[in-house]
Amino acid sequence: MKVSSFQGFVEKIASSGPGALFLACGTELVQLGRIRDAARSRFCETLGFECSSFYAEDAEPGKLTRFLAEPSLFSSGRLVRIPGADRLPAAIRAELVRAAADEGRTDVLLVESSENSLRHSFNASVDRIPGAASFVCWEPFERDMGRWFDILAKEHGLSLPPGSRGILLSWAGGSLSRLDEAIERVSVFSEGRTLTTAELAGLLTGVADPGVFDLADEIWAGRRGNALATAWRLICAGEEPVALLALVQRQWERLEAARALIAGGGDQKDMVRELGLSPTAASSLLSSARNSSAPPVWVAAEALASSDLSLKTGGDPFVVFAGLIHSLTQG
C-alpha cells in the first residue's frame, strides 16, 4: 500500500513490528537515508533486532531464500535491507517476492528499488503483498521545500538569522540534497551561534576561504607542511578552530567508511548507495581513500578526541592543530 507522505511512511515504520515489509522506491538520497535511519532506530535500537543486508551483486539462485531462512544468532529477529532490489535477476526477484509474502516471516524487510514508480512491474509485485507499505523517494515539490527546510534545520539545531530561509532555498534550487548539504555546511561552521546573513551568504557562494575545505584533504593525504601552513593561515584569518576540527573529523569518518567498502570489494556505485554521496563526491572520495596515508584508526580517533577536548577547554588553537597534524601525518 502506497503511503502518500514521507512523514506518514516514517511513522508507519516507527509503529510496526516483526514481519513488517517496507518498499522504498526512487533515488532521492536524503529521504532514503532517513528511511534507513528510521528502520534502524525502530527495529535495531528499540526492538533489539540484528541489522543485515543482502546485495544484488551477491545474488545467485537460492541464496536469498537460504539467507532469509537462517535464524538470527544474536536477537529475536532481523532487519534485512535489500538495496538495488530492482537490479536482481528476474528469478531472484521472484524469489524475493515469494519470501516477502510468507505469512510466517518474522524478519523485517526494507526493500530498496531505484525505479521511482509503483507501476514498475517489480515494485508493483512487492506493493501488492498484504501488509506492505511503500513510498516513492522523489524530489519534493517546490511548495514542500520550506517544510523540509524546517525539518533539516531542526535536526541540526540551527539558529539562523531572518531571511536565511530564502537564501538557503534559493541556493538549493529545488534539490533536497543541495538543501541538506547547505544546512550541514552551515551547522559545521556555526558551532551553535547565529550566523549573520553575510556569513551565511559567504559560506554558500564560495566567498568563505576555500582553505577550510582543503585542510582536511591536506591532513589525510599526509602533506604535513601544507597542512600546517593551511591551518596557521585559517586560524590567523579568524576561522573557528572547533569547526575546522569538525570538518577534519567528518572527512576522516568518510574515508574510513570508504576504505571499508573498498576492502569488501566495493566501488564508486557502492559509495553513492551506502554513503549517500553524489557520483562526483563518491569519485573524489574513492580516489582519496586509495591514495591517502591515514594512520591506524585508534591513533586517529585518539588524536581527534584529544584535540577536541583541548580546544573546548581553552587550548591554544595553533598548538593543538600543530600537535594533531604531527600525530596524523608523516614528516
Residues 6+ apart with CB under 8 A from 149: 165, 168, 169, 179, 183
CATH number for region 142-205: 1.10.8.60
| Mean pLDDT to the nearest integer, 109-125 | 85
pLDDT of the residue at 41: 93
What length is written for the chain?
Answer: 331
- Asked whether the domain spanning 211-328 has the same topology as the one spanning 142-205, the reply is no
pLDDT of the residue at 208: 47
Q: How far does the chain reach from its first CA to its final CA, in angstroms?
A: 60
SS3 244: helix
What's the distance, CA 254 to chain centroid? 9
Tally Cβ neighbours within 10 Å of residue 193.
Answer: 10
Strand order in the sheet with 78-82: 50-53, 78-82, 108-113, 21-26, 132-137
Phi and psi dihedrals of 288, rounded to 5? -65, -40
Mean pLDDT of the chain: 82
Handedness of CA 251, 253, 254, 258 (dihedral sign): positive
Confidence of residue 36 (pLDDT cuts 50, 70, 90): very high
CA nearest 273: which of 11, 5, 26, 4? 26
**pLDDT at position 291 over 80:** no
Contact (CB, 8 A) for 329 and 219: yes
pLDDT of the residue at 280: 62
In CATH, 211-328 is 1.20.272.10: yes
| Mean pLDDT to the nearest integer, 95-110 | 89
Burial 110-134, CB ≥16 within 10 A → b, else e: bbbbbbeebebebbebbbebeebbb
* Domain edges within the chain: 6-137, 142-205, 211-328
| Mean pLDDT to the nearest integer, 45-55 | 89
pLDDT digits (tens, 9 = 90+) for 247-290: 788 778 778 888 878 877 777 777 776 766 556 667 777 777 77
pLDDT digits (tens, 9 = 90+) for 195-232: 776 677 666 655 445 556 678 778 878 888 888 988 89
pLDDT of the residue at 143: 81
Nearest-angstrom CA–CA distance, 214 and 9: 39
**pLDDT at position 66 over 50:** yes
Q: What is the DSSP string of 177-206?
A: HHHHHHHHHHHHHHTTSPPPHHHHHHHHHT
pTM: 0.61
**pLDDT at position 134 over 90:** yes
Contact (CB, 8 A) for 67 and 36: no
Confidence of residue 108 (pLDDT cuts 50, 70, 90): very high
6-137, superfamily in CATH? P-loop containing nucleotide triphosphate hydrolases (3.40.50.300)
pLDDT of the residue at 207: 41
Nearest-angstrom CA–CA distance, 153 and 184: 9
pLDDT of the residue at 139: 83
The fraction of the chain above a pLDDT of 90, given in percent, is 20
pLDDT digits (tens, 9 = 90+) for 143-190: 888 889 988 888 877 777 767 787 788 777 778 887 887 887 777 777
The fraction of the chain above a pLDDT of 70, given in percent, is 88
Helices 241-263 and 176-190, interaxial angle, to 10°? Answer: 130
| Mean pLDDT to the nearest integer, 115-139 | 86
**Highest averaged pLDDT of the listed ranges 34-38, 72-76, 99-103:** 34-38
Q: Which three cell numbers stand for residue 15?
A: 509503529
| Mean pLDDT to the nearest integer, 125-147 | 88
What are the C-alpha distances in Å from 277 to residues 51, 152, 255, 261?
22, 17, 12, 14
Phi and psi dihedrals of 243, rounded to 5? -65, -40
Tally Cβ neighbours within 10 Å of residue 303.
Answer: 19
| Least confident range of 18-22, 25-29, 255-259 | 255-259
**pLDDT at position 70 over 70:** yes
